[in-house]
């Protein structure tokens, strides 16, 4: 359990009071609320989002405020110096997708992370200024607010300014994250000045104050995007980038624009998914896997049965082979998204899946294994009228490239690492594996981020997403299966142990307790190679109408939120 300030614990209890037990298994009760719900990875950001909703703000307003707040209280992944995706479903049925992910600077080149022998130079795309793409978050939050929000920029950014200026008391969960990057902070004086306490890691109960970040937020509050991309902040980023061997210049910052795209949509059983299109591979891969799995009676096979897991693993293997070779920035590559989410294509894959034998990844395709950073953050929000926002944004790795331009307080991303640095091997489609995601000036790296919304009979049913790099895709898939096929409530669905298979390497990661010894034996007998889990995801999910799909409401509550217990700082809160 994380240590929490008393008032915060009290808030959790109050928010839970309306909930009668709806859990069947060993999960806590979902948090229930009547009018609005926010689930984020940091409790202070959740509280800010709930407050915006209480003040009459919309889900989009709350998302903007939570986005700015997480940049202060969850600096490992919440950000101004990174990028992300926002999926919105409005109460009237309109839906949209905002892509404010990073773009490669104009001076970027295909081989920029390779040595003269064509080998990837370790660390060049993950730490330091050359790892940074042109950030999109401020542009994205401002675009969302201006086009779809109802409140002023000043009102939405003010809580974040206060948290940065006055500081906030660190919980053990906050400290654990900061501590994980201590050695990297020490390499960069401007970063160490903020995230170390006189050169030493912060301790729980100490206050993290970020005055430079407060000034940058104030500039954004006054001038909008110009307060970030231009003026003193933009100049400081360009100067620090140049001094640190980076390639971002003022023209890169000036040119950054948000892309508004149609979401990626598909149906699964009687539900409709609205998710992330390319440059994310998430929506396509999730839909491809669901199409494959729709042909099996998962409910009858049962949660955790070796047979159901075998089909899930094989669906993952095929979808990841496709997304790794074929998907990338839609302005640069012709993504065959509709072919990949075609039900006929799924039927052909089912024909190739043997019911009693693991597939062999190299028989499906040759290529470059997925390698995204896994340290992102997701939040889900629903407001009183039923507008839903599902937003995932990231610096890529925890604390991104670990660099800050002096005087800005802004941590920069290492999103350039999400490009394929060494494309080239031919895959079974004749495409060069990784070519769709090769580095090019102005291009956006492929992502796994999958902010997803699900409807039934055109009505909002579910909002979910998670961090986790490539594990985002499989975690969202399994949560959907847990709810639709295995009839769990929202907290059970989020808590349930997960597996992860991503085509390459040809092994499946298994969380503790995901497999009974006999299920493990059956799967190994089929030829599956099983390994321990990679670092955990942190899902944030809201279900509408009842704690489980098709269930009964509890009192007047309409929204039921689940914060993933795998994270140490998050909170589901509502009113
Ligand atoms: N950097 C994590 C992702 O975009 O999936």
Whether 340 shows a pLDDT value over 80: the answer reads yes
The Cα–Cα gap between 40 and 224 comes to 24
281 CA distance to ligand 1 centroid (A)? 10
Establish whether residue 314 lines the binding site of ligand 1, counting it when its CB lies within 6 angstroms of any ligand atom: no
- 81, 419, 449, best to mutate for ligand 1 pocket (most atoms within 8 Å of CB): 449
Q: Whose CA is nearest to atom 5 of ligand 1?
A: 448
Classify residue 136 by burial, with Cβ atoms within 10 Å: 0-12, 13-18, 19+.
Answer: buried
In 3D, which of 299, 339, 298, 302 has the Cα closest to residue 319? 339
Question: What number does the ligand 1 atom closest to the CA of 394 have?
Answer: 1
Confidence band, pLDDT 50/70/90 cuts, at residue 24: low
Q: Whose CA is nearest to atom 2 of ligand 1?
A: 469
Q: Whose CA is nearest to atom 1 of ligand 1?
A: 396
Establish whether residue 466 lines the binding site of ligand 1, counting it when its CB lies within 6 angstroms of any ligand atom: no
Q: Whose CA is nearest to atom 3 of ligand 1?
A: 447
pLDDT tens per residue, range 518-551? 999 999 999 999 999 878 889 999 999 999 999 9
Question: What number does the ligand 1 atom closest to the CA of 418 have?
Answer: 1
Record the pTM: 0.95
Q: Whose CA is nearest to atom 4 of ligand 1?
A: 447
Is 376 an annotated catalytic residue? yes
Confidence band, pLDDT 50/70/90 cuts, at residue 324: confident
The Cα–Cα gap between 542 and 555 comes to 17
Question: What number does the ligand 1 atom closest to the CA of 396 have?
Answer: 1
Lowest mean pLDDT among 116-120, 276-280, 471-475: 116-120
Report, as an integer, the average pLDDT of 473-484: 98
In 3D, which of 404, 386, 387 has the Cα closest to residue 395? 404
C-alpha gyration radius of the chain: 22
CB 278: neighbour CB atoms within 10 A? 28
pLDDT tens per residue, range 437-474? 999 999 999 999 999 999 999 999 999 999 999 999 99
Largest CA distance in the chain: 67
Q: Write down the H helix ranges in 225-305.
A: 226-229, 231-243, 250-255, 282-293, 298-301
CB 5: neighbour CB atoms within 10 A? 14
Establish whether residue 448 lines the binding site of ligand 1, counting it when its CB lies within 6 angstroms of any ligand atom: yes
């Amino acid at each position: 359990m994380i240590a929490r300030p008393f008032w915060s614990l009290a808030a959790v209890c109050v928010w839970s009071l309306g909930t009668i037990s709806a859990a069947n298994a060993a999960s806590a009760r979902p948090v229930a609320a009547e009018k609005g719900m926010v689930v984020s990875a940091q409790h202070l950001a959740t509280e800010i989002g709930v407050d915006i909703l209480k003040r009459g703000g919309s889900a989009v307003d709350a998302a903007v405020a939570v986005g700015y707040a997480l940049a202060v209280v969850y600096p490992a992944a919440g950000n101004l110096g990174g990028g992300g995706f926002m999926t919105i479903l409005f109460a009237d049925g309109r839906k949209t997708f905002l892509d404010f992910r990073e773009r490669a600077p104009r001076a970027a080149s295909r081989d920029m992370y390779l040595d003269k022998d064509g080998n990837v130079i370790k660390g060049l795309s993950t730490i330091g200024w050359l790892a940074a793409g042109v950030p999109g978050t401020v542009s994205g939050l401002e675009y969302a607010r201006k086009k779809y929000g109802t409140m002023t920029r000043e009102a939405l950014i003010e809580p974040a300014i206060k948290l940065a200026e006055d500081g906030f008391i660190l919980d053990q969960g906050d400290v654990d994250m900061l501590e994980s990057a201590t050695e990297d902070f020490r390499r960069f004086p401007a970063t160490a000045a903020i995230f170390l306490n006189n050169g030493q890691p912060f301790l729980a109960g100490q206050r993290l104050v970020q005055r430079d970040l407060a000034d940058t937020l104030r500039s954004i509050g006054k001038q909008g995007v110009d307060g970030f991309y231009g003026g003193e902040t933009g100049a400081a980023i360009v100067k620090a980038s140049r001094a640190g061997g980076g390639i971002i210049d003022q023209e890169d910052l000036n040119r950054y624009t948000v892309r508004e795209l149609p979401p990626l949509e598909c149906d699964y059983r009687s539900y409709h998914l609205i998710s992330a299109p390319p440059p994310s591979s998430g929506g396509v891969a999730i839909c491809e896997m669901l199409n494959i799995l729709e042909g099996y009676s998962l409910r009858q096979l049962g949660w955790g049965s070796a047979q159901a897991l075998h089909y899930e693993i094989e669906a993952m293997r095929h979808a990841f082979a496709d997304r790794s070779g074929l998907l990338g920035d839609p302005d640069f590559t012709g993504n065959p998204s509709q072919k990949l989410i075609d039900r006929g294509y799924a039927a052909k894959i089912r024909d190739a899946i043997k019911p009693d034998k693991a597939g062999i990844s190299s028989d499906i395709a040759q290529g470059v294994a997925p390698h995204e950073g896994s340290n992102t953050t997701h939040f889900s929000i629903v407001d009183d009228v039923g507008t839903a926002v599902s937003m995932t944004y990231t610096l890529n790795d925890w604390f991104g490239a670990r660099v800050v331009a002096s005087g800005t307080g802004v941590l920069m991303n290492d999103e350039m690492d999400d490009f394929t640095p060494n494309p080239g091997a031919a895959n079974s489609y004749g495409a060069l594996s990784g070519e769709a995601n090769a580095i090019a000036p102005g291009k956006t790296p492929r992502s796994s981020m999958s902010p997803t919304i699900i409807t039934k009979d055109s009505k909002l049913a579910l909002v979910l997403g998670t961090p986790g790099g490539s594990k985002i895709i499989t975690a969202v898939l399994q949560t959907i299966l847990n709810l639709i096929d295995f009839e769990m409530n929202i907290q059970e669905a989020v808590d349930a142990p997960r597996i992860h298979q991503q085509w390459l390497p040809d092994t499946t990661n298994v969380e503790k307790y995901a497999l009974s010894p006999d299920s493990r034996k059956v799967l190994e007998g089929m030829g599956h190679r099983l390994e321990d889990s990679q670092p955990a995801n942190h899902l944030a999910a809201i279900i509408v109408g009842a704690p489980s799909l098709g269930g009964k409401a509890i009192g007047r509550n309409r929204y039921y939120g689940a914060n993933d217990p795998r994270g140490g700082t998050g909170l589901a809160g509502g009113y």
